[in-house]
Amino acid sequence: MTSRFSKGLMLAGVIAILLFLLAPILVLIFSAFDGGNVFRFPPRSYSLRWFEEALTHTEYRSSLWVSTVLGIISTAIAVGLSSLAAFGLVRGKPSYRLGLEVLLLAPLTLPLVVWAIALLSIYAQLGINGTLPGLILAHVTITMPFAARIMIATFDEIDPRLEAAAKSLGASPWHVVRRITLPLAMPGLMSSTAIAFLVSFNDVVVTTLIAGAGWITFPVRTFSRLRTEGIDPTTIAIAAMIVAFTIVVIVLGQRLFQLSRRF
Amino acid sequence: MTGSPYLRIRSIKKSYKGAVALHDIDLDVEQGAFVSLLGPSGCGKSTLLQILAGLLEADGGDVQLGGEDITNLPPWRRNIGLVFQNYALFPHLSIRQNVRFGLDMLGMDRTEAEKRVDESLAMVGLDPALSRKPGELSGGQQQRVAIARAIAIRPRLLLLDEPLSNLDAVLRHKVRLELRELHDRTGITTIMVTHDQAEALATSDRIAVMNGGRILQYEAPEALYRAPATAFIAGFVGSPPANLVPLSALDNNSWTLANGQVWKPIASLAPRAAGVRAGAACIMALRPEALAVGVSGEGGLPGRVVAIEFIGGDRLVHVETGGTQLTVRVSAEQAMAGPDILLFPPQETPLLFDANSGKRLKADF
């Protein structure tokens, strides 16, 4: 009886924590279907008008596009560079490994605003403020620490003897990477890609300062709207679509992952 | 077999950050031989194995295999099979894919490769129908897969790095017999690194005993046991290994033991017989199984029984004698008087070593 009681208590606790974590998302999704002119919760009438608005609104469309392109390019660069750095640090075991690891994580130690101001003055000197390359560089800078941390942990967990065994079986360094190291690092690569993309996609602070008026990302656009006109229900609808998209990606990923496990 | 040997290692040197791991190693291995590199951890045996596999670069010296200089050949061009202590099976590949890996790298035709996988798995006593992942197998089975994977490429040389250390005692005994059998069936020249002298004695044609980055002796197991070149080897080989008794020559006929006690042995064990001058410090190696126990007689080494271990069939008697503790192996049936007893070493030439250099003082026979 006691065990059933404590199990019930535990279940209640788990549900409470989940609710607490997911409540904002639920609010978001319900409000997105509201028919009113301003953001409100709970919704009083239901309509798809904000979704329609979101899909036809060119400003939001273009800033979503900017966010996506920026996220993909800077994630690719950040994950690529940090994978190489992590592999070198883990396999090469240089004496300065610890020092370099700390340096790679350094951007996390300061508030993003401070970084953004420093980047702004450097990029002004280089003349790349407000340009796409400048923005990409800034996003690589803020996503690298996350990507690097995950990749270092990933390579640390791959037994170097697996690579040695592959070499003894006739695998050239290229084949070792393609057949052994990469497949084993794949989960780490996936999560560092996801994290890097999310950090880039969600950034407001650095982007606002570096991008200027030329490249307005979705969160920057939302934030500036918020300050001038209050909460725009269109952004709520877009956010709801992003949540739906994320869920689809996760479900698909899970399916594919399990499929790949089966074979 | 005249001329140069199949594997010829010459003056291989290796240092790590100033610490010497290998001093000028020379070693010859005949084709088809099973050779063990035996020594305590840190003796350089694994370093030597990695240099043979091409995973480590030597600081100097050269390695020839089948007449070809392979010193600077990268590991993937050596065709040398390698089995690790932790098996190092690829966790993301099935068992068959693991075994086929080297064949794929050779670009072998698919049907031929599948046939070779069947053969290799059968050779190590595994069911070729196994389609599982390595993580689902027991340690012993993973070990077999690792061996099958290494022999599937028909290597010119098979290197085993502590292959039995991760197995439990019963399995270790079984697998070491199987390793030797497999070697005899395939005829692949094999080098095994081990710290377990019983393993080396049981499997090898020849054993290279290593310590401090040098090969101390390279001999067949019987010769190693019968005529160890140094006190270190005598104290390392055998189950249990020989007792090392420090003593110094008092005069032509007697020895002084570690605690100052004087021992007058039979003539063949006296300093005169060994050509040792008075005052010289020596070490006498006494095999636990060669010591006879009694209560009276000429030339006995007086001792006091400290503890007795029953090991089934035999007893290990620990005896305190002249300031040194010795182990004596006696039959379990033998009655033990005690605690004060006399130990009688065998009458033939003693295993006597110089206390400073550790080298054997008088050649056997």
Give me the domains of chain B, ranges plus CATH numbers: 7-230 (3.40.50.300), 234-354 (2.40.50.140)
What is the C-alpha to C-alpha distance for residues B221 and A116, in angstroms, rounded to an integer?
Answer: 72
- Written in H, E and C, the secondary structure of B226-266 is HCCCEHHHHCCCCCCCCEEEEEEECCCCCEEECCCCEECCC
Which pair of structure tokens corresponds to residue B45? 């045996």
Structure confidence by residue, pLDDT tens digits, A35-50 = 777 777 777 778 888 8
Q: On the CB side of B51, how many CA atoms lie within 13 Å of its CA?
A: 25
Query: For residue B257, how many other CB atoms are within 10 A of its CB?
Result: 20
Query: What b/e sequence results for A132-155 when a residue is b if at least 16 CB atoms lie within 10 Å of its CB, and e otherwise?
Result: eebbbbbbbbbbbbbbbbbbbebb
Judging contacts by C-beta atoms under 8 Å, the chain B residues touching residue A172 are: 74, 76
Query: Which pLDDT score, from 0 to 100, does residue B121 have?
Result: 94
Describe the strand order of the beta sheet including B80-83 as a list of residue ranges. B80-83, B157-161, B190-194, B34-38, B206-211, B214-219
Which has the closest alpha carbon to A179: B90, B138, B179? B90
CB within 8 Å: A184 and B92: yes
Pairing of strands B190-194, B34-38: parallel
Residue A11: inside a domain, yes or no? no
Which pair of structure tokens corresponds to residue A35? 């028919």
Residue A259: inside a domain, yes or no? no
CB within 8 Å: B153 and A169: yes
DSSP B326: E
CB within 8 Å: B88 and A161: yes
Residue A16: inside a domain, yes or no? no
* Three-class secondary structure of residue B30 per DSSP: coil
Contact by Cβ (8 Å): B37, B49:
yes
Q: Nearest by CB to A159, which of B75, B88, B101? A: B88
pLDDT by residue for chain B (365 residues), tens only, comes to 456 799 999 999 999 988 999 999 999 999 999 999 999 998 999 999 999 999 999 999 999 999 999 999 999 999 999 999 999 999 999 999 999 999 999 999 999 999 999 999 999 988 877 778 898 898 889 999 999 999 999 999 999 999 998 888 888 888 899 999 999 999 999 999 999 999 999 999 999 999 999 999 999 999 999 999 999 999 999 888 999 999 999 998 999 999 989 999 988 888 888 888 888 899 999 999 999 888 888 888 999 999 999 888 888 999 999 889 999 999 888 777 778 889 999 877 788 999 988 898 864 43
The number of C-beta contacts closer than 8 angstroms across A and B is 64
Contact by Cβ (8 Å): B134, B97:
no
Structure confidence by residue, pLDDT tens digits, A112-143 = 899 889 999 999 999 888 888 999 999 999 99
Give residues with Cβ within 8 angstroms of B36, minimum separation 6: B191, B192, B193, B194, B199, B200, B203, B204, B206, B207, B208
Residue A83: inside a domain, yes or no? yes
**How close, in Å, is residue B5 to chain A by CA atoms?**
23
Query: Which pLDDT score, from 0 to 100, does residue A33 have?
Result: 86
Q: Is the ipTM of this complex over 0.95?
A: no
Judging contacts by C-beta atoms under 8 Å, the chain B residues touching residue A179 are: 101
Query: Which pLDDT score, from 0 to 100, does residue B3 have?
Result: 65
Domain that residue A162 falls in? 56-218
Residue A18: inside a domain, yes or no? no
Q: pTM to 2 decimals?
A: 0.84
**In CATH, what number is assigned to the domain containing residue A183?**
1.10.3720.10
**How close, in Å, is residue A160 to chain B by CA atoms?**
9
Please, what's the largest Cα pairwise distance for chain B?
A: 77
In total, how many domains does chain A have? 1
Contact by Cβ (8 Å): B253, B304:
no
Give residues with Cβ within 8 angstroms of B254, minimum separation 6: B262, B263, B264, B265, B270, B271
**What mean pLDDT is predicted for residues A180-200?**
92
